[in-house]
Structure 1
Amino acid sequence: MMSNSTLSYFILGAYLNVGILRYLYFMITALLYSVIVIANTSLIVVICRNRSLHEPMYLFLCSLFVNELYGSTGFFPFFLTQILSDIHTVSTSCCFLQIYCIYTYASVEFVNLAVMSYDRYLAICCPLQYNTRMTSKKAFIIIIVVWLYSFVKFLITFSLSIRLTFCGNAINSLFCRNYLVVKLTCLDTTVNHIYGLFATVITISVPLLPILFSYMKILKICFSGSKQTRQKAVSTCTPQLVSLINFSFGCFFEVIQSRFDMSSLPSVLRMILSVYFVILQPLLNPIMFGLQMSKIRKTYTHIVST
């Protein structure tokens, strides 16, 4: 039996022995991480520097871009190190730290997208009341609540997992997953599973309700409103919907990958699906929102030219 006091590392068993190709994979991954950092950081700077962008919609976007940097930093440096390593191990403390970072990143992402959908509902369905119901001060408070809610919610899951003792240390994954770590325990995990189920329901239902409410109302306005209203709805909601769908698929792939036997799929495909949500989302969002929002494009062009 291994306990947390004696278990010093976990073994990650999903890495392939790719030989010299590891350097190619390293360069591709490093390039992706560089693009993510540069793109998200640039848009954060653009929003912070231009006072005309200190509006709720852009503040929520800034929160989204900060979260992309947070989630990417919790994954990419670790992943790049593992690619070049011959022994794919991770210390127990680093493993739990990565679990906390990636899971809180996912929670903040989903809740932030829910808040953005509600903000668009107010802007499209209640335009005359928008400036009083959604001010920059309220948006800032909402952002703080979004981050605190996600960090506190998963802190309970984290504390239940970190107290466990383990009978093994091999994880069939590219990074640390809470579900796979809990499966290695020698103790009764009933409490972990009950709270895990409860936390999953809360994690999904809390953001999903405002998302469904907001887009149902927006859809109703699109059918009954003017052509100008429909165009505004499409232009402002399309990036958010694409981002939401992309992230939902990524999380679905991650859950399926960790809980079911996917050995029938090619190993490379399994690896891609398992990290989809933490690679594609931070890469897609700044490109999509940056290209779609004309005020961001103009401000960025002005900053670069000066």
Structure 2
Amino acid sequence: MVNVTVVVFTLSGINGTINYRVTLFTFTLLYYCVILFANISLVMIIILNENLHEPMYILLCNFCINGLYGTMGFYPKFLLDLLSSNQEISYGGCLFQAFVMYSYACSDLSILAVMAYDRYLAICRPLHYHSFMTKSRLSQLVCFSWFTPFCVFSINVLLTSRLKLCGSKIQRLFCVNWVIVKLACPDNDTFSNSVIAYITIFIYVSHGLFIIWTYMHLIKKCARSKEDRVKFMQTCVPHLTSLITFLVAIVFDLMYMRFGSKDLPQSLQNLITIEFLLIPPVMNPLIYGFKLTKIRDRILGLVGIKK
């Protein structure tokens, strides 16, 4: 295959929507507004209320900010593509979008791991909670949840940018690092990319194993006490719901990207690839807003409903 100098990529995943783009644009815009409203509202409620300046709520605030960050990398470009006759993106823009998508997904998992650690300390080590979860420790954990994926995927994108490409067509709605790597010419050395990919997998599988470990201890502890069971249902069930939803969406996308059939209808392919951008960003603020008592009471107070 002849090497080509790629200036722009073509996103072909949107081709199947040509007959109902205006309708899809309208619903997508409304849905994105819901995402913005739900997440920004929860962030502002936590920031403006000092009694919510506790580790659990600060971590939730970061969780919602990350949701805004990730959806910002997809929805504005997708909305523009729906109104455009050419669904193109520059090489630099594609790499940047790939970076945002991956760092968003992995930051979500990092924050969920830190939230699991926070719940483990609060329920299993309540007497030591405040000595462990100090402001300094909380700041370190928040920085870890953002800094680790940003560093890992900066290296990923940097290595990808050095590859010579022999294609420019991406059969998705947005850019993904692995898909760009697959467009590399056969004479490229992609060994470094593979090594970093395996390191990344190891890091985030470790995150998942850590979350499983914390929940094993949480369930064991809560089984002994009615008070702990109530605390688990109130604060851990939303976290567990967010975790399961996120993992199912991500695993579906990763499995399809690596092993999926191209014979599936384009609309179904699109749904699989954007599931992690559809469900978690709306579900997370809603489930935490209704389940956590302090936030729910504050929301009811804002709309004039007294408890």
Normalising TM by the smaller chain, what interval? over 0.9
Counting only pairs closer than 5 Å after superposition, residues 148-163 of structure 1 correspond to structure 2 as 148-163=147-162
Counting only pairs closer than 5 Å after superposition, residues 11-26 of structure 1 correspond to structure 2 as 11-26=10-25
2:293 aligned with 1:294, yes or no? yes
State the identity as a percent: 38
Contact 1:59–1:140 at 8 Å: present in 2 too?
no
SS of residue matched to 2:13 = coil
Bigger Cα displacement from structure 2, 262-271 vs 105-114: 262-271
Q: In structure 2, do the counterparts of structure 1 residues 137 and 299 end up closer, same or farther at CA, with 3 Å as the change threshold?
A: farther
Partner of 1:229: 228
Q: Note the alpha carbon deviations across 1:84-131, whole angstroms, 9 max, x for none.
A: 222221111110010011110011100100110111011111111112
Taking the aligned partners of 1:292 and 1:174, their CA distance within structure 2 comes to 34
Contact 1:121–1:214 at 8 Å: present in 2 too?
yes
Contact 1:100–1:158 at 8 Å: present in 2 too?
yes
Contact 1:40–1:69 at 8 Å: present in 2 too?
yes
Q: CA deviation at 1:2?
A: 4.2
Letter in 1 for 2:210: P
Partner of 1:212: 212
Letter in 1 for 2:208: L
Q: Note the alpha carbon deviations across 1:223-242, whole angstroms, 9 max, x for none.
A: 2x221211211221111111
TM-score, with structure 2 as normaliser:
0.94
Taking the aligned partners of 1:248 and 1:220, their CA distance within structure 2 comes to 23
Partner of 1:65: 64
Q: CA deviation at 1:78?
A: 0.9
Q: Note the alpha carbon deviations across 1:197-238, whole angstroms, 9 max, x for none.
A: 222221222x12320121010111122x22121121122111
Bigger Cα displacement from structure 2, 41-50 vs 258-267: 258-267
2:107 aligned with 1:108, yes or no? yes
Cα RMSD, aligned residues only: 1.6
Contact 1:262–1:270 at 8 Å: present in 2 too?
no
Partner of 1:253: 252
Taking the aligned partners of 1:19 and 1:189, their CA distance within structure 2 comes to 36
SS of residue matched to 2:279 = helix
2:194 aligned with 1:196, yes or no? no
SS of residue matched to 1:128 = helix
TM-score, with structure 1 as normaliser:
0.94
SS of residue matched to 1:16 = helix
Taking the aligned partners of 2:202 and 2:136, their CA distance within structure 1 comes to 30
Counting only pairs closer than 5 Å after superposition, residues 111-190 of structure 1 correspond to structure 2 as 111-186=110-185, 187-190=188-191
Taking the aligned partners of 2:236 and 2:106, their CA distance within structure 1 comes to 21
Contact 2:40–2:64 at 8 Å: present in 1 too?
yes
Partner of 1:47: 46
Letter in 1 for 2:178: Y
SS of residue matched to 2:59 = helix
Partner of 2:237: 238
Q: CA deviation at 1:305?
A: 4.6
Structure 1: 5+ residue runs without aligned partners?
A: none
Taking the aligned partners of 2:3 and 2:30, their CA distance within structure 1 comes to 39
Taking the aligned partners of 2:236 and 2:287, their CA distance within structure 1 comes to 12
- Kindly tell me the number of residue pairs found equivalent between the two proteins: 302
Taking the aligned partners of 2:98 and 2:248, their CA distance within structure 1 comes to 20
Letter in 2 for 1:216: M
Contact 1:55–1:135 at 8 Å: present in 2 too?
no
